[in-house]
Amino acid sequence: MSNSIIKIGLDKRDKMIYAARVKTDKTRFEIKALIRLNSEFPLKHDLIEDGDLHFAIPDSQAMLKQIRISPESQYSTHEQAKFEMIQSVLEDESVFSFESEETSQANNIIGAIFRKERSDKLIASYNANNFDKNRIKKFRVRSLALGKGYLNFCHPETGELACIADFCKEVVSICLIYQKKILNVASIDLQKFDFLNENDIDKITMEFKTILNFKLSSIFDKGITVPLSSLMIIGGNEQLVNKFSDYFKLKPFLPKINHGFFSNPKKLEQIPLHNYLIALGLSVD
């Protein structure tokens, strides 16, 4: 008897929905299919008609917080993180959903909290109201799903500290990876910028560098002093990538997804696999 589960990761990138159909069990992942769908039409495709549904939440719709937990506590790390996040809001905890992620720093957790009512609006934005609600198993913040996707489906880069960023028209999701674990996350609202405007490209790059330097400074204060070794950029345009090369010592590049996870790896060169990285990360517990 098979213990495998089919999970469908769904990530809305601008007007398109990137879906990853992944077969999982306790030992491995198998990518069965990658599908791109238009969010302006009802979400329907033979390859997503069964399996557990996992949706990506825009970073702007959740509150994230670094939480220090006690290893001696009788409560689990998730319960401790949930308690800390509840203290950050004024309303009853029943109106919120919670998520937590262990980091590469001992006893440090990333906690995320978002309103349950937003999940209904999110499903509507995916044009997915036709799905059985019992199939919907999880919502995960995009930046955390990005890190999960990189760590579980990509060839690891050399060096201890890496940054991966996913650019859409409305937001960039950022994840710092340290010693093969998520270290920290961030995001930038891009709705006020025009990717075709050179001045705006400058502003985006400067804001990105400011936030990245702030995050690197904060982890330096916690004893992590290794330099950034990799800068991976998904999305944006050629002008943006070229501008990053001007502002950073590291040349940006695309993450490399391991073809060994595909049940049929033929013709993968024709697919922009990196655009599905968040959808893939949603399939990971």
* Structure-block tokens of residue 107: 């006893």
Residue holding tokens 């990189």?
150
Crossing angle of the two packed helices 238-247 and 198-220, in degrees rounded to 10: 50
DSSP letter at 142?
Answer: H
C-beta separation of 162 from 177 below 8 A: yes
- Is residue 284 over pLDDT 60? yes
CA distance 250 to 237: 18
Residue of 17, 14, 58, 20 lying closest to 280 (CA atoms): 20
pLDDT at 42: 83
Q: Which range, 77-81, 144-148, 155-159, has the best average confidence (pLDDT)?
A: 144-148
**Residue type present at position 144:** L
DSSP letter at 257?
Answer: B
In tens, the pLDDT along 7-35 reads: 999 999 988 999 999 999 877 899 999 99
CATH among 3.30.465.10, 3.40.50.1580, 3.40.50.620, 3.30.420.40 for 146-247: 3.30.420.40
pLDDT at 35: 94
pTM attached to this predicted model: 0.94
Q: Which range, 1-5, 221-225, 230-234, has the best average confidence (pLDDT)?
A: 230-234
- Is residue 264 over pLDDT 80? no
* Beta strands across the sheet bearing 161-167: 181-189, 171-178, 161-167, 230-235
Please give the average per-residue pLDDT across 119-146, as a whole number.
88
Please give the average per-residue pLDDT across 61-87, as a whole number.
88
Residue holding tokens 């950050």?
88
Percent of the chain with pLDDT over 70: 99
- Is residue 4 over pLDDT 70? yes
pLDDT at 1: 46
Q: How many CA atoms lie within 13 A of 82 on its CB side?
A: 12
CA angle 225, 256, 145 (to 5 degrees): 70
pLDDT at 127: 84
Strand 5-13 with 230-235, pairing: unpaired
Residue of 110, 114, 97, 112 lying closest to 68 (CA atoms): 110
Phi, psi for 37 (deg, rounded to 5): -130, 155
Strands (E), the chain: 5-13, 16-24, 29-38, 52-57, 63-68, 96-102, 108-115, 136-141, 161-167, 171-178, 181-189, 230-235
- Is residue 192 over pLDDT 80? yes
Burial 191-203 (b: 16+ CB within 10 A, else e): eebeeeeeeebee
92 CB-near residues (< 8 Å, 6+ apart):
none
